[in-house]
Structure 1
Amino acid sequence: MSGVSVVSEWRNWAGNQATDPIEVVAPRDEAELAAVVVAAAEAGRKVRPIGAGHSFTAIGSPVDVQVSLDRLTGIVRADSTTGLVTVRGGTRLKVLNRSLEALGLSMTNLGDIEEQSISGAISTGTHGTGARFGGLATQVRGLRLLLADGSVVSCSAAENPEIFDLARVGLGALGIVVEVTLQTEPLFALNAREGNDELAEVMASFDTHASETDHFEFYWFPHTTRVLTKHNTRLPLPETSLEPVGRVRGWFDDELLSNTAFGATVGLGLRVPGLVKPLARFAASARSPREFTDISYRVFTSQRRVRFVESEYAVPRAAGMEVLAALQRAVEASSWNISFPVEVRVAAADDIPLSTGFERENVYIAIHTAPSSPWREEYFAAFERIAGEVGGRPHWGKMHTLSAADLAERYPRFGDFVALRDKLDPSRIFGNPHLEQVLGS
């Protein structure tokens, strides 16, 4: 096969998904990528693309051949007047953010991690927070997809719109995303206000916080009634003066407390479960309030050095606090010891068929544990059951157990996606067991 090819084990970022030694190919360009796919198809082998491997599900797990997109990176073209920027599919968000800054541009919204590739982020429905803003895929204006027969198709709202409509969140099931055209905007800043509050008070006023703040989220610390709130307000540049977090304060809060000390407390809690609850109370009060202003991506994103696994459900906005209250009751009634906070965000509705935001506003609730946590399965199952009662939709890259039949009930155009997959990849060249679970065989 063309490209750099090695035989290697594969493991995702969290370490909860792994394979035996597998062929990994790293094409240098579109032609080499096409040759890899065609050769695999002729040999009856399956191909699975991978970016950063930051999904917690087995969505990126290969069967025969894994295609690394790490050499298909960088900006192809950019128009600072229109804000349209075309980028290769393997480009990591952390590289893209800095490249856009150099051009005086910003992504409209981001999640809180920037390790993912742009193709993986949009394909799994990655999102940030903000009641007026959709997920990253809503910023997509065009795609180049390499299909199972080795051909490449360009699509947008004007060109092959029937493919573009469904492929913006495509799970890697329709083809390999070679290029993405994004609608960016002029570089902007965020004023960040972070503070502590009581869970009951924040839940009671959640809609006000979400509606009156550009980007609002909060973290609840299980076994306590305390939360960390984040209010981020958009500000124009260059009119705004930046006042970033000081070096010492940033190291103390974001590296020592959020990574080093937190990692130590998680490890200690696994060894001595009885310490988890007092440690949770300490963690809930360890960070003091702060306010700062910086370039948007520096505020949206943060480093995550402590490994975890995650489940996240999008639930109708009107039911969000009801779901969180039920989760709180489940934790209090259990014998679980949960070291990681619960993250709560909000996002706008969109028109992307397999987006969790399809035709409804959502509250996103995400739960986390250490990969080896003995309470993980019970905790995640209870959360899935609670979210399911209100039609919750799982993040495609985060852990859940739903089947194609379950998902078809929660996505009105699920059948349209499956039909397009049947047309573009009838032999399931891009398939794997996880896609059989969520899309059917």
Structure 2
Amino acid sequence: MQGIAGYQFNNWAQTYSSSPELFFQPANAEEVKQILDLARQRGKRVKVIGGGHSPSDIACTGDFMIRLDKMNRILEVDAEKRQVTVEAGIFLGDLNEELAQHGLALSNLGAVGEVSAAGILGTGTHNTGIEHGILPTQVVALTLMTASGEILLCSHSVNEEIFQAARLHLGCLGVILTVTFQCQAAFRLLEQQFPSTLSEVSSPRGAIVCLVCGCVCVCPAVGWHPAQDWFLPCALCWLGLAPADPRDPVWIQRLKVLYIMKKRKIKDKVRNYNKTTLVNIEKEGQTKDALLQLKSWLEGNPAVVAHYPVEVRFTQADAILLSPCYQRDSCYMNIIMYRPYGKDVQRDEYWSAYEDIMKKVGGRPHWAKAHRCSREDFQRMYPSFQKFCSIRETLDPAGMFLNPYLEKVFF
């Protein structure tokens, strides 16, 4: 298996990059094993990447990099069980099209389709709906190649502890080869958009909230079942545009929002930084309190111009060891700073204030996003953090799958 020298990796937002010594695109499990054998012989580390959408350095390495985009086949569709088994490199957008041909669909999706099956397990991709878990909760089985080249089948009934670790693996347990998803019958979404104010948003059902203009967008009904709520961003949020100046009167901001929603055109791709932290929603009013604290801080620091929206999404508790929703229903609160035309903007003060507020209310960071948390923080945040560490050390005793990001997590 030949590696490519001189490859430059950039994440989607072009905020982090790295230059791996060798870049590989294996087409099957045997070629993956050859790469791991070579890495072991040369004492190199290995990082597997997916779609590169994580706005952090979690995918960066200076050693060996593997992209599984050539391992992108659908291996089996079980119509009776409504399950599909795929190779780990398939993008969800491609998977969705194939599932539709079989009258099936994933019950919940993230914001983009250019993320791989293994990638959503790497950092815990999510969307919203309190009756839905993060996307890895839809995974019922997977195969994992460890640093030694051994292939493990993992599910609720086989290697169950490793399964609960590998469903949010941070890329540090091995190489995911195949993934089996539990699907459901294909459905249609009914979208409803309406404006509201922050003070009116108190239900833990989900919303997209703009702290500046107060625009709230809600999309109920999955498969026409009113108890299952999905929430999609308004056109402004969806297109990644932030035209309003927070110093404008609210009515002017709303006119601009309505104009963009009507026009629905993109003249230039706007990429962004973003940070997500979760708070426990078992305590009534905690989510709203966190939003009000952030709003109060912004009002007290008028020199800080914060882009909107603030995305607020809700997710069901799960048993995945490093899931931010581990053992608790949670609320994702995501702030964004746009980079119009690729230009950097000042964000550090806003970032720090946000992170301090979220830590005070019991937040856990989204693994894909930049954060300042250390091993000591994670030991406090995650009851099963040490169990995950033990599994990692057993599967990868030499640290083949570590990188600088992961060293800050585990050491």
For the criterion TM > 0.5, the same-fold answer is yes
1:325 aligns to 2:325 (yes or no): no
Aligned residue number for residue 113 of structure 1: 112
- Whether the 8 Å contact between 1:196 and 1:288 is mirrored in structure 2 is no
Higher deviation after alignment, 228-237 or 420-429: 228-237
Given that residues 48 and 63 in structure 1 are in contact (C-alpha distance below 8 angstroms), is that contact kept between their aligned partners in structure 2? no
The residue that corresponds to 2:248 in the other structure is 278
Which moves more between the two structures, 226-235 or 426-435? 226-235
1:280–1:339 contact (8 Å) kept in structure 2: no
Give 1:272-421 correspondences, 5 Å limit: 275=245, 277-278=247-248, 282-288=252-258, 305-317=269-281, 318=283, 319-334=286-301, 335-371=303-339, 372-421=343-392
In structure 2, C-alpha distance between the alignment counterparts of 1:281 and 1:111, rounded to whole Å: 31
- Equivalences for residues 193-204 of structure 1 within 5 A: 193-202=192-201
Which runs of no fewer than 5 residues in structure 1 stay unpaired? 211-215, 238-252, 267-274, 290-303
Aligned pair in 2 of structure 1 residues 257, 428: CA closer, same or farther (>3 Å)? closer
Q: Deviations over 1:381-439 (max 9, x none)?
A: 11110000122010000121101111110000000000011100011111101001112
Counterpart residue identity of residue 248, structure 2: P
Q: Deviations over 1:307-345 (max 9, x none)?
A: 001100110113211111111111111111122311001
Equivalent position SS for 2:120 = helix
Pairwise CA distance, 1:5: 2.8
Alpha-carbon separation, structure 1, partners of 2:152 and 2:310: 40
**Distance 1:44-1:328 versus aligned 2 partners, 3 A rule:** same
For residues 406 and 251 of structure 2, the distance between their equivalents in structure 1, rounded to whole angstroms, comes to 40
CA distance in 1 between counterparts of 2:349 and 2:157 reads: 47
Query: Residue 436 of structure 1: SS of its match in structure 2?
Result: helix
Q: CA deviation at 1:198?
A: 1.2
* Gap change, CA 1:192 and 1:3, over 3 Å in 2: farther
CA 1:114–1:354 in 2, change beyond 3 Å: closer, same or farther? same
CA gap 1:347/1:217 in 2 versus in 1, 3 angstroms: same
Q: Which has the higher helix share?
A: 1
Structure 2 CA distance for partners of 1:305 and 1:180, relative to 1, 3 Å: farther
Within a 5 Å distance, the mapping from 1:201-216 to structure 2 comes to 201-202=200-201, 205-207=202-204, 210=205, 216=206
- Which residue in 2 is equivalent to 1:139? 138
Q: What is the identity percentage for the equivalent residue pairs of Structure 1 and Structure 2?
A: 32
Q: Where does 1:142-181 land on structure 2 (aligned, <5 Å)?
A: 142-181=141-180
Tell me how far apart the structure 2 counterparts of residues 306 and 374 of structure 1 sit (CA, whole Å).
12
Which amino acid letter does the alignment assign opposite residue 239 of structure 2? N
**Distance in 2 separating the partners of 1:357 and 1:3:** 40
Residue 410 of structure 2 corresponds to 439
| 2:50–2:118 contact (8 Å) kept in structure 1 | yes
8 A contact 1:74–1:91 mirrored in 2: yes
DSSP-derived class of the 1:391 partner: coil
d(CA) in 2 for partners of 1:167, 1:68:
18
Query: Which is worse superposed, 329-338 or 275-284?
Result: 275-284
Relative to 1, partners in 2 of residues 1:35 and 1:17: Cα closer, same or farther, differing over 3 Å?
same
Residues 18 and 257 from structure 1, CA distance in 2 versus in 1: closer, same or farther, beyond 3 angstroms? closer
Letter paired with 1:412: P
Q: Which amino acid aligns with 1:341?
A: P
Q: How does 1:64-83 map to 2 (within 5 A)?
A: 64-83=63-82
2:44 aligned with 1:45? yes
Alpha-carbon distance between aligned partners in 1 of 2:402 and 2:89, rounded to the nearest angstrom: 19
Matched, 1:220 2:210: yes
Q: Displacement of 1:162 after TM fit? A: 2.1
Taking a change above 3 Å as real, the CA distance of residues 36 and 413 of structure 1, as seen in their structure-2 partners, is same
Paired with 1:370 and 1:101, the residues of 2 have a C-alpha distance of 34
In the TM superposition, residue 151 of structure 1 has moved relative to its aligned partner by 1.8
Q: How far apart in 2 are the matches of 1:421 and 1:87?
A: 24
Deviation per residue, 1:55-109 (Å, 9 max, x gap): 1121111230110111111211110110111111111111111111111111111
Partner of 1:259: 239
- Paired residue type of 2:293: A
Instruction: Tell me whether 1:233 sits opposite 2:232 in the alignment.
Output: no
In the aligned structure 2, how far is the partner of 1:427 from the partner of 1:136?
30
- Cα distance in 2, alignment partners of residues 277 and 115 from structure 1: 35
Partners of 1:5 and 1:26 within 8 A in 2: no
Distance 1:257 1:354, change over 3 A: closer
What is residue 55 of structure 1 aligned with on the other side? 54
Do the aligned partners of residues 314 and 386 (structure 1) sit closer, same or farther apart at CA in structure 2, a change above 3 Å counting?
A: same
Moved over 6 A (4+): none
Partner SS for 1:171: coil
Please say if residues 195 and 288 of structure 1, whose CA atoms lie closer than 8 Å, have aligned partners that are also in contact: no
Aligned length in residues: 389
**By how many angstroms is 1:232 displaced?**
2.2
Give the superposition deviation at 1:7.
Answer: 2.3
Structure 2 CA distance for aligned equivalents of residues 88 and 103 of structure 1: 18
Structure 2 residue runs without a partner (length 5+): 226-233, 260-267
Distance 2:274 2:199 in 1: 24
Deviation at residue 41 of structure 1 after TM alignment = 1.1
Query: Tell me, what secondary structure is at the counterpart of 1:35?
Result: helix
Query: Relative to structure 1, is the Cα distance of residues 177 and 282 closer, same or farther in structure 2, using a 3 angstrom cutoff?
Result: farther
> How much does 1:287 deviate?
4.5
Which residue identity is paired with 2:379?
A
Contact 1:3/1:25 (CA < 8 Å) preserved in 2?
A: yes
CA distance in structure 2 between the partners assigned to 1:170 and 1:153 by the alignment? 14
Q: CA separation in 1, counterparts of 2:150 and 2:179? A: 17
